[in-house]
Amino acid sequence: MHLTKEQENMLDGEQGEVTERMFRLLVRLGDIYGAEKMLPVASVQVSGVSYKSLGDPGISFLEDQAKRGGRVRVLTYLNPAGMDIQDWEEIGIPEDFAKKQAQAIEAFRGLGIVIAATCTPYLAGNLPRYRQHIAWSESSAVSFANSVIGARTNREGGPSALAAAICGFTPDYGLHRDENRQPDIVIDVTARLENNADYGALGHHVGKLVENRIPYFKGIEEAGTEQLKALGAAMAASGAVALYHAENATPESPLVKTGGLEEVTVGRKEIDETYAALNQGETPDIVILGCPHASLGEISRLAEKLDGIKLKRPIWICTSRVMKDAANLMGYTATIEEAGGRVVADTCCVVAPIEEMGYATTGVNSGKAAAYLPGFCKQQVVFADIDELVGRQMK
């Protein structure tokens, strides 16, 4: 691999032992995937933040890197943590877990990472531009950045993202390269999609169908930001899809070639079958919205729906701290709380320890959450649109 003088210095340890070790990791990764050079990254997003996935060894590792002088050199955000960092007690997070999670957050802060724990960094102050190289970890954020923004990132693991943050570089391979961003299959959507849950169902179905390939969608040009984030998240979960194109909706769609590709039609039948396959429960103990983390628009629409009603069982909407602060200012949080719901920041239904909090059946409108909750959190899932879920929590 060709390295610049600055990169040779990193490898020789002239920029400290942590940088040296992290840069070696990046070079090894680049060698495995045939990269010929390193690319500077504009921003990083690090996953593996919840104490549930980090554990004590993970915290010690991070603390040690900070003690040895490790510091990030580009804007670096975190994926959701295991709790609302400020209001963990109010949502019933066990105290032992909260103490460990707080220690992990301090370890990240020690490395200079911004304590913005969200899977929608692009809605919360970390917005890359078209064609910019970044190193993000969380699969739905990777999908959104590549597909909707047209930035370029591979799906980084926690360690390779941390290494990119500390060194400011990532190896030039995979989705950083033009030739690897062409579609493999055309998906012609004939179903009329009514809400975010429909886009989640479409994503779940197509992810399984295309598995790791790059789909090119026709027929979803009306999709907005929230629908595209729901679609990408579900495809990333069911089929490890890190990039998709959508005709007249995503920026690279006019630039790629679709001639001669296999074409598959997805209609209402496939969407309805996906709902049936993902539903195991009847009455949710809790409904958790905001997977991926909710936009301010999604929070305001929930507040409108809950205005003046009383829920029998809770609804959370998960979001970033930035969106929660805005929701507080706008009075949306107060309206949601009056109904018996909560706006929960920094965490989500999958990385919070909900299985330890007495919940066994969770209602979601996200294809990704519906796919992950049974395995990660031992939950039965009710997968439906928001109106249906709110209705069930009132009975």
CA distance 394 to 384: 15
Residue closer to ligand F3S, measured from CB, 306 or 348: 348
Nearest approach in angstroms of CB 69 to ligand F3S is: 30
Residue closer to ligand F3S, measured from CB, 275 or 372: 372
Establish if 368 lies at the interface with ligand F3S (CB under 6 A). yes
Residue closer to ligand F3S, measured from CB, 42 or 351: 351
Establish if 348 lies at the interface with ligand F3S (CB under 6 A). yes
Q: Return the biggest CA–CA distance within the chain.
A: 67
CA distance 119 to 139: 9
Q: Is the peptide bond before 314 cis (omega within 30 degrees of 0)?
A: no
The residue within the footprint of ligand F3S, chosen from 138, 226, 252, 285 (CB under 6 A), is 138
Residue closer to ligand F3S, measured from CB, 231 or 291: 291
CA distance 183 to 246: 10
Size of the site for ligand F3S (CB under 6 A): 16
Sign of the C-alpha dihedral, residues 10, 12, 14, 16?
Answer: positive
Burial category of 145 from C-beta neighbours within 10 Å (exposed 0-12, middle 13-18, buried 19 and up)? buried
Q: In angstroms, what is the C-alpha Rg of the chain?
A: 21
Residue closer to ligand F3S, measured from CB, 43 or 143: 143
Q: List, in order, residues 6 or more apart from 23 with CB less than 8 Å away.
A: 7, 10, 11, 163, 167, 169
Nearest approach in angstroms of CB 351 to ligand F3S is: 6
- List 40's β-bridge partners, or say none: 169
Nearest approach in angstroms of CB 119 to ligand F3S is: 3
Nearest approach in angstroms of CB 34 to ligand F3S is: 30
Q: List, in order, residues 6 or more apart from 254 with CB less than 8 Å away.
A: none
Please state the separation of Cα 392 from the chain's center in Å.
27
Q: From residue 150 to residue 169, what is the string marking binding to ligand F3S with x (rule CB under 6 A)?
A: --------------------
Task: List strands edge to edge, sheet with 286-294.
Answer: 342-345, 315-319, 286-294, 361-364, 380-383
Establish if 140 lies at the interface with ligand F3S (CB under 6 A). yes
Establish if 369 lies at the interface with ligand F3S (CB under 6 A). yes
CA distances from 392 to 314, 363, 366 (A): 11, 9, 16
Nearest approach in angstroms of CB 78 to ligand F3S is: 10
Task: Please identify, among the stretches 149-157, 173-181, 295-303, 365-373, the one whose residues bind ligand F3S according to the rule CB under 6 A.
Answer: 365-373
Task: Please identify, among the stretches 68-76, 164-172, 271-279, 290-298, the one whose residues bind ligand F3S according to the rule CB under 6 A.
Answer: 290-298
Establish if 233 lies at the interface with ligand F3S (CB under 6 A). yes
Residue closer to ligand F3S, measured from CB, 39 or 236: 236
Residue closer to ligand F3S, measured from CB, 35 or 294: 294
The residue within the footprint of ligand F3S, chosen from 30, 48, 80, 200 (CB under 6 A), is 80
Establish if 292 lies at the interface with ligand F3S (CB under 6 A). yes
* CB of 207 closer than 8 Å to CB of 241: yes
Establish if 207 lies at the interface with ligand F3S (CB under 6 A). no
Residue closest to 202 by CA, chosen among 222, 232, 241: 232
List of residues contacting ligand F3S (CB under 6 A): 79-80, 119, 138, 140, 233, 291-293, 318, 348, 350-351, 368-369, 372
